[in-house]
Structure 1
Amino acid sequence: MFEQFLTPAYLPFAITFVVMIGIGLIEAVGLGLGHLNIDGNSGIEGHQGVLDWLGLGSELPILIWLTSLLGCFTIVGIAIQQGATAMSGGPLPWGAASGCALIAGGLLNTLAASGLARIMPGFETTVISTDDLLRRRGTILEGTARRGAPARAKVLDHHGQAHFIMVEPHDDADAIPAGETALIVRREGKVFFVVPDENRLLQSI
């Protein structure tokens, strides 16, 4: 069976299977690429309906959807070739088999993606909004943060992931040197404004 899987008639499905395994490994090591979601609000008429039909209109991560599609394509393709061999004594040409498998696999994946989305309603992502960093403490890494002269700081989100941001003191008179910690209180564009922990108002926080 393995030798048959490497013949030209089965080669597209063998390649697809290897790619599917590769994507699965990427997910397993936690690179997070599968947490990218398709935004259905593109402003194009009927776009959301197409995404729903493909199974992309839900919150299912894109790499999980793609892995499902590759799996459906592989399974359907092998089934087509096995059926053709049983009926006619030989598999279909790889191009014809691939075309049929793409159509049938896409239809099957619509059902598979919908099922995955239903059983994964609580899928957690480590992707956060920039504003989620507000009211967290950061550490000045280099330089001294002054008004009009931001410094680079490191802050950990609630997942424990590090983010590197530019910060300025909230108060004009403050200057926060490297190594000091400060509370992030607001944001303007890409710059965050902080209050140093030595501020008396923060001693009880």
Structure 2
Amino acid sequence: MWDLFVHPSNLFFSVSLCLMLLLGLVECILLIVGASSQGFLDQFIPDSLFDTHHPDFNVDADHGLWIQFLDWLCLGRIPVLIWLIIFLTTYALFGFITQGIFFHFTESYFPLWIIAPATLFLCMPIVRVIASIFVKILPQDETTAIHSDELIGLTAEIILGNAKPNYPAQAKVKDQHGLTHYVMVEPATEITLLQGQSVILTHKTKIGFQAIPT
């Protein structure tokens, strides 16, 4: 078993399994200190992906093949952290099982450059099935998605850095469902918003929001 884990041909699967365990450990530590990585991870999901689950979404709108593919994988329907753990675990186990079966009959492994992309392609339907199950069993308030525009007008707190024009800082804001979002903010005027300061989100930008002091 150890030889299977450390063999160079299984490098990607070993790394995936380690990342999954690391994510779980970090999340446990954050929960102990009263925080979570969920809001931070959500900012890397395209807003248009959340739009596909919004009541006002136009089913005839063209959101591109990439967004359709992410939606097919149930991204945006469950917390990103849970989806990542599902993906990393499925990818690693599928790869290890395939390599183990192949080794049993041939006493050799598939080369890394073949097995890594092949496993990525073949495990996606399994990821979708498992994610779909989580969509059904997770509480609704854990998967509530909103338009990022709905954060406009809410009060946020700058938690990392000082925000200057064209030099945004990270802030956290709670939406109407009580969920925390981590966003990038910069001042709407020629001022500096300091770390720890409360601000009001006023306009959407390409990278986040403009804000003014409360």
| TM superposition score category, shorter chain reference | 0.5 to 0.7
Distance 1:47 1:10, change over 3 A: closer
SS of 1:122's equivalent in the other structure is helix
Partner of 1:196: none
Any unmatched runs of 5+ in structure 2? Answer: 31-35, 52-60, 157-172, 181-195, 204-210
1:165 aligns with 2:195: no
> Sequence identity, in percent?
19
Higher gyration radius (CA): 1
Partner of 1:8: 8
Match of 1:31 among 23, 37, 45: 37
Partner of 2:70: 51
Contact 2:78–2:134 (8 Å) recurs in 1: yes
SS of 2:197's equivalent in the other structure is strand
Distance in 1 of aligned mates of 2:110 and 2:80 = 31
Match of 2:151 among 129, 136, 142: 129
Distance in 1 of aligned mates of 2:202 and 2:106 = 69
TM-score (norm 1): 0.58
Higher relative contact order (Cα pairs below 8 Å, separated by 6+ residues): 2
Distance 1:19 1:53, change over 3 A: same
Deviation at residue 59 of structure 1 after TM alignment: 2.6
Distance in 2 of aligned mates of 1:122 and 1:89 = 49
Distance in 1 of aligned mates of 2:121 and 2:202 = 49
After superposition, where does 1:100-119 map in structure 2 within 5 Å?
Answer: 100-119=118-137
Distance in 1 of aligned mates of 2:82 and 2:142 = 11
Partner of 1:65: 83
1:133-192 Cα shifts (integer Å, max 9, x gaps): 49xxxxxxxxxxxxxxxxxxxxx9796x8x73258xxxxxxxxxxxxxxxxxxx866346
Contact 2:153–2:202 (8 Å) recurs in 1: no
Distance in 2 of aligned mates of 1:38 and 1:73 = 23
Distance 1:86 1:31, change over 3 A: same
Deviation at residue 132 of structure 1 after TM alignment: 4.7
Any unmatched runs of 5+ in structure 1? Answer: 135-155, 168-186, 194-205
Deviation at residue 43 of structure 1 after TM alignment: 6.0
Distance in 2 of aligned mates of 1:166 and 1:133 = 6
SS of 1:27's equivalent in the other structure is helix
TM-score (norm 2): 0.56
Bigger helix share: 2
SS of 1:10's equivalent in the other structure is helix
Count of paired positions: 152
How big is the alpha-carbon RMSD for the aligned residues of Structure 1 and Structure 2? 3.7
User: Where has structure 1 moved over 6 Å in runs of 4 or more?
Assistant: 156-159
